[in-house]
Chains A and B, each alone.
Chain A
Amino acid sequence: MSLYQDVTRKPWNTVGLPDGIDPKPTFNVSNEKLALVVFVIVASVLFSLLCVSYFIRMWFGGGDWLPIALPSMLWVNTGALVAASVAMQVAVVSSRKQGHGDKSKSPWFLVGGVLTLGFIIGQFTVWQQLTSQGYILQSNPANSFFYVLTGVHILHLVGGLWVWSRALLRQVRKDASHDISKSIELCAWYWHFLLIVWFALFYLVATN
């Protein structure tokens, strides 16, 4: 029964098993994927609120907003994150190809995580460059927001890497009880999401 049918029917009028004897989930995806989608929505709310705060502070704050001169290193980092996302996607495709029997060897999953680590190190470098140029956290709200936004983004990546490392361990151990291709796919999804978030944040800090 479709969601629409379900929510529009008169439940007091019906007796029986509308879907037959098989329980049907509301959405035709795995539980893990649904939970990930919900989490992605929650994280989007978090980032949106940070961006809204950014604008409110810029427009209605004390008029002390001084735009930041962004280091070109950020472009390199962006490249790394894009590459990480691509690697994750390649890992998904190849793990699908290998089918369910032999779910091991795609090195791309590893590559994706390592590139992400590179991105994070790159972001730390950007922080160092900025501080040494005098763009200190406290000195201006634009700086403060830059550090907070990138910091929260990094924290999300770190969370992702934690899941990634556990999936990787399982891959290495060839733990057959667990469907690794599923983990790989969920990681890829999450990585794409965080890439989009990064684009939005980068655009925000670069244009204001």
Chain B
Amino acid sequence: MAYVPLADQDDAHALHDPDSFITKYVWSQDHKVIAIQYGGIAIFVGLIALGLSILMRLQLGFPDTISWIDPAFYYQAVTMHGMIMVVYLLTALFLGGFGNYLIPLMCGTRDMVFPFLNMLSVWVYLLSVLILLASFFVPGGPTGAGWTLYAPQSITPGTPGSGYGILLMLVSLGVFIIAFTMGGLNYVTTILQARTRGLTLMRLPLSIWGIFTATVLGLFAFPALLVSAIMLTFDLMLGTSFFVPSMIHMGETLEHDGGSPILFQHLFWFFGHPEVYIVALPAFGLVSDVLSTHARKNIFGYRMMVWAIIAIGGLSFLVWAHHMYVSGMNPYFGFFFATTTLIIAVPTALKVYNWVLTLWQGNIRLNTPMLFAIGFIFTFVHGGLTGLFLGNVIIDVPLADTYFVVAHFHMVMGVSPVLVLYAALYHWYPKMTGKMFNETLGKIHFWCTFLGTYAIYLPMHYLGFLGVPRRYYEMGNTDFIPASAQALNANITIAAIFVAIAQLLFFINIFWSLKSGKPSGGNPWGATTLEWQTPDTPPKHGNWGEELPAVYRWAYDYSVPGAEKDFIPQNEPGEEYEKTFHHKGGES
């Protein structure tokens, strides 16, 4: 297949426009189509994971009312919910979806540098999703080992899905990693090599910085998951003992001997912690751009934001063992990892301050994307603070494996990125479709989601203090937990169902607006970045018409003193503003 990377061609006429339906929408090499394919698949599996969580909540809130939710199914639901949400929804939607859509547009290129590889990436991703979903239909069902897949439990008979289920999970992860690597090589190379003229690294919007750094993290972190998946598959299928120690199971001594379960935990979390930032960093980037645009102000401390993203990325490889404080590791180890964990909070807090200072005295427009972005600041601060508690060994020991941890990571990695996803989907929807969504419906969706998730997760912190353990099918004889905890659980379940149903508003909105929304025009928000300056909306194949744009300024020229409009697009030449610019100076 001899293809010529589009970015290597200067001439728009050389672009071979796809003509049939198949080449246009199915086997498409156009980054925008691929982005939407990625996004569609991710949202589809995400909805399955959402459904599973409602089933879990029904069991917790109203134990034993649904007869077919037995303990095995409960664990399978927990596991699939967690893994799908973290890997197959968030990672795929942020990087495969938004990465694909925004990188070429924001960098002023016609496409990714390797469009064929890009197309391969999305199809391999689909394959990984299909393999994962197939595990619902194999004997024994999907794995019920928890999304951490800890060995030896995950492959020991007695755990649900310890045969085919876990095998399919491991294979699916391996395939996902291949898809991610193909996409990742594209994102990195495109951002580094193909930016249009004048677009220096420091003129990139923060979205691109977030996506770029997260991709690099992914490229470094996923190999750890791959290594553990390979070795676990060997333990499972071929009877090796990488992770499995000698064990007696149901009175029988298993063949395995001498393996190291702790090794698995180290490998898993060496992937697992960076993974949470693979999700968080693109969210940080996207939300920065949404906030700045709708506050009509430049992002506060742009360079600080860039370096904070990079610092967080680097540090995230040094904190993994804070997930293992109760694994019996050496206390000095715990001390080291507590320290690094607290250090990583510094650049994180910096970013939060800068978001707030971006809003300070801004000309804030409280539209739907902005509401979601501001909501994110709340939930992220909330989850970040509980992270600081958990980062300290002595506080973590009693709280580990309780609902406090569940509350922490759902605030910080569940709700927060999802709020950003909504902010971003609403924000870029007019560009993707050329139509405006319905504001009122969007706002109702926001308030239901925002308040609803608080109703779900705030009480969970309290349950954690009470000592309610996570990953339990039911309470059993736990005397230290008061009966009122059950009432709280019922309330949480009701809130969860409410929030889940409220998400319908989003789908109604985007599908209804697709047909009946008002035309949005090319740049409805008055935004500066390149994707809003395309000649066509939605952008055509090749993005830029005859000539690639040139970039004359950074991405945040909002409300520049002396300028006639309250924003200056990045591709607008303008020596005339330079003077006022110098006097205004920088803020850091």
Contacts and interface: CB of A to CB of B under 8 A. Distances in A.
B189 A38 contact: yes
B196 interface: yes
Contacts of B230: 148, 152
A1 B113 CA distance: 22
A196 interface: no
A9 B245 CA distance: 55
B231 interface: yes
B398 interface: no
B224 A49 contact: yes
Given A53-B267, A61-B259, A12 B556 contact: yes
A165 to B, nearest CB: 13
A141 B243 CA distance: 10
B577 A15 contact: yes
Interface stretch (B98-106, B200-208, B412-420, B439-447): B200-208
Nearest to B245: A62
A192 interface: no
B197 A62 contact: no
Contacts of A43: 223
Interface stretch (A19-27, A71-79, A105-113): A19-27
A51 to B, nearest CB: 10
B36 interface: no
A79 B266 CA distance: 36
A141 B114 contact: no
Interface string B289-306: 000000000100011001
Given A31-B114, A53-B267, A141-B240, A6 B201 contact: yes
B328 to A, nearest CB: 12
Interface stretch (B13-21, B472-480, B579-587): B579-587
Interface in A26-49: 26-27, 31, 34-35, 38-39, 41-43, 45-46, 49
B113 A23 contact: no
A129 interface: no
A22 B553 CA distance: 16
A99 interface: no
A175 B95 CA distance: 35
Interface in B216-268: 219-220, 223-224, 226-227, 230-231, 234, 238-242, 245-246, 255, 257-260, 262-263, 266-267
Contact of B193 (A6, A25, A144): A25
Given A15-B574, A31-B5, A31-B8, A42 B219 contact: yes
Contact of A12 (B231, B263, B266, B586): B586
Interface in A149-208: 152, 170, 175, 177-178
A57 B239 CA distance: 16
A142 to B, nearest CB: 11
Given A10-B586, A18-B198, A60-B260, A141 B267 contact: no
Contact of B196 (A23, A49, A148): A23
A141 B194 contact: no
Interface in B480-528: none
A34 B193 contact: yes
B264 to A, nearest CB: 9
B113 A31 contact: yes
Interface of A: 1, 3, 6-7, 9-27, 31, 34-35, 38-39, 41-43, 45-46, 49-50, 53, 56-57, 60-64, 137-138, 141, 144, 148, 152, 170, 175, 177-178
Given A15-B581, A23-B197, 19 more contacts: A1-B200, A11-B302, A12-B298, A13-B581, A15-B553, A15-B575, A17-B197, A22-B197, A25-B194, A35-B185, A35-B186, A38-B185, A42-B219, A56-B266, A137-B238, A138-B239, A138-B241, A141-B258, A177-B2
12 contacts: A11-B554, A13-B586, A17-B197, A17-B552, A19-B200, A26-B193, A31-B7, A45-B219, A49-B224, A61-B258, A137-B239, A144-B240
The 3 closest A-B pairs by CB, nearest first: A62-B258, A11-B554, A64-B258
